[in-house]
Amino acid sequence: MIVKLGSIEAGGTKFVCAVGTESGEIIDWITIPTKTPDETIPEVLAFFQKHEIEAMGIGSFGPIDVKKSSPTYGNILNTPKLPWKNYPFLEKIQEQLQVPTGFTTDVNAAALGEYAYGAAKHTDSCLYITVGTGIGAGAVINGELLEGFSHPEMGHIIIRRHPDDRFEGVCPYHKDCLEGMASGPAIEKRWGKKGIELSERKEVWELEAYYIAQALVQYIMILCPEKIIIGGGVSQQETIFPLVREKVKELLGGYFTQPEVTEQIDDYIVPPGLENNAGIVGGLVLAKMALESK
C-alpha cells in the first residue's frame, strides 16, 4: 500500500497544495489564491480532507518561526502581507489534519526537493536560490536543512556595488542588499521595464550576473555546497547562467581547485531539475521526514 503525503507551497500570490508519495510523485494537486487566512486555509484543508494523508510538509513564504523550541514555532512572523502577520500556520493545519507536519521556508523546501529528486540528487549538499519578486536561498547540508535561531536570509546579504550602478536599491530594510539590487522589482525599477521585456539588453543581464555571482561566491566560501540551483522568475533569462558561472570563477580567483568550480562549473550552477515543482516536491520530502521522526 502506498503512503500518501501532503505538501503545501505557500506563496504570496498562490498556495499550491499536493498529495503525493514517499518517492516524490504527485498524485493530485490544486492551486488556491492567497487571500486572507480565513478565506484561503479552509480551501486548503478541504483539499487535503479528500485524501487520507499520513503526514504533511509545509514550505511557506516568510519570515516564519522555524525554531521548534520557540513558543511561536510554526507562525508566520512580521510579513508585509498583514492578514498573515503572526498567523499560527502550522497549528491551524495540524489541528485539523492531525498528522505529523514539517514546517520550513519555501526556499528550504525547494532545496530539499532538488536534493532528494532534482538537480542535486546524487550529492550530500546543495543550495537553492530563487531570484524572483524577492531573493531567498535555502541549503541542505548532509541531508539536514540549514537553520539556526531562524532560517537564513541569504537574499539580504551585503554585496559590492558595481562602480557604474547608481540605482539606490529597493529593499525596505537595507536598500542596496542583494535583494534590493537584483530582485525582479529591482530590475524593473532600475531599467524602467519588466525583466521579460529586457531580454535583448545585454547590459541588464551582465549587471544581474555581477550581483548574483557575488552572492554565490559568498555562499560557496561559507558552505561549499556540492550543487547550486538557481530558480525563480528572473532565472528564466537563461543567458544569466553562463554569465554567472564566468563571474563566479573570476571572483573565486582560482582559490578552489575542485572540479565543481573549475572545469565542471556548467554542471555546478544549474537550473532546477524539477522545474517549477521543486518546492512542492520538497514539501513531500519534508512530510516524509516528519513521519519518520514521529
**Using CB under 5 A as the criterion, which residues of the chain lie in contact with Zn ion when the complex forms?**
156, 171, 173-174, 177, 179
Shortest Å distance, C-beta 19 to ligand ADP = 22
Nearer to ligand ADP, 112 or 234 (CB): 234
Q: Report the residue number, 99 or 131, with the smaller CB distance to ligand ADP.
A: 131
Report the partner that residue 88 touches, choosing among Zn ion, ligand ADP, none (CB closer than 5 to 8 A by kind): none
Residue 135 Cβ, how far from ligand ADP at the closest point, in Å?
A: 9
Q: How far apart are CA 149 and CA 72, in angstroms?
A: 13
Is residue 63 close enough to count as binding ligand ADP by CB under 6 A? no
CB of 136 to ligand ADP, least distance (A): 9
One-letter-per-residue 3-state SS of the chain: CCCCEEEEEECCCEEEEEEECCCCCEEEEEEEECCCHHHHHHHHHHHHHCCCCCEEEEEECCCECCCCCCCCCCCECCCCCHHHCCCCHHHHHHHHHCCCEEEEEHHHHHHHHHHHHCCCCCCCEEEEEEECCCEEEEEEECCEECCCCCCCCHHHCECCCCCCCCCCCCECCCECEHHHHHCHHHHHHHHCCCHHHHCCCHHHHHHHHHHHHHHHHHHHHHHCCCCEEEECHHHHCCCHHHHHHHHHHHHHCCCCCCHHHCCCHHHCEECCCCHHHHHHHHHHHHHHHHHHCC
Least distance (Å) from ligand ADP to the CB of residue 191? 11
**Which residue from 2, 158, 196, 222 is in contact with ligand ADP, where contact means CB under 6 A?**
196
Which residue, 170 or 261, is less far from ligand ADP as judged by CB?
170
Q: Is 194 in the site for ligand ADP (CB under 6 A)?
A: yes
Nearest distance in Å: CB 210, ligand ADP: 16
The window from 45-53, 155-163, 227-235, 255-263 that contacts ligand ADP (CB under 6 A) reads 227-235
Q: Interface with ligand ADP includes 6 (CB under 6 A)?
A: no
Query: What residue type is 182 in one-letter code?
Result: A
Q: Measure the CA–CA gap between 234 and 90, rounded to whole angstroms.
A: 30
Which residue, 55 or 269, has its beta carbon nearer to ligand ADP?
269
Is 234 among the residues that bind ligand ADP (CB under 6 A)? yes
What residues form DSSP beta bridges with 6?
19, 56
When the beta carbons of 41 and 171 are compared against Zn ion, the nearer one is: 171
According to CB under 6 A, which residues from 78 to 137 bind ligand ADP? 130, 132-134
Q: Among 6, 57, 62, 184, which residue sits at the site for ligand ADP (rule: CB under 6 A)?
A: 184
Q: Does 277 bind ligand ADP (CB under 6 A)?
A: no
When CB distances are held under 5 to 8 angstroms depending on the partner's kind, the choice from ligand ADP, Zn ion, none that residue 283 binds is none
Name, in order, each residue with C-beta under 8 angstroms of 74's C-beta and a sequence gap of 6 or more.
Answer: 64, 65, 88, 89, 90, 91, 94, 103
Give residues in contact with ligand ADP (CB under 6 A). 11-12, 130, 132-134, 184-185, 188, 194-196, 232-234, 236-237
